[in-house]
Amino acid sequence: MCRIKREYEGETLDALLIEAIRQFFKAYDHMELSYTKTDLNDLYAAIAPSEDAGDVYLSDGVWLGADGSLSDRGR
């Protein structure tokens, strides 16, 4: 394999990319995500097979209840 190494102002592009990713996740981790129970109730209504279906699986062990509650049951 061949690796091309380019520098930008004395830093490799790999180092610049890694730093950009770190900065992105630093900002993302401090973001406040907001949702309301109404949003989650609407989501439940859209994806549940019936009104009395019980909890529905979203992804990665997270379940959505008919009341808009989220629960992490692991994988």
pLDDT, position 53: 80
CA distances from 13 to 5, 16, 31, 58 (A): 8, 5, 27, 37
pLDDT, position 47: 92
| pLDDT tens by residue, the chain, 75 residues | 556 566 666 677 788 889 999 998 888 888 776 667 788 999 999 999 887 789 999 999 999 999 888 999 986
CA dihedral for 49, 51, 38, 31, sign (positive or negative): negative
Among the listed residues 25, 8, 68, the one whose alpha carbon sits nearest the alpha carbon of residue 43 = 68
For the chain, what are the domain ranges?
Answer: 37-72
pTM as predicted: 0.50
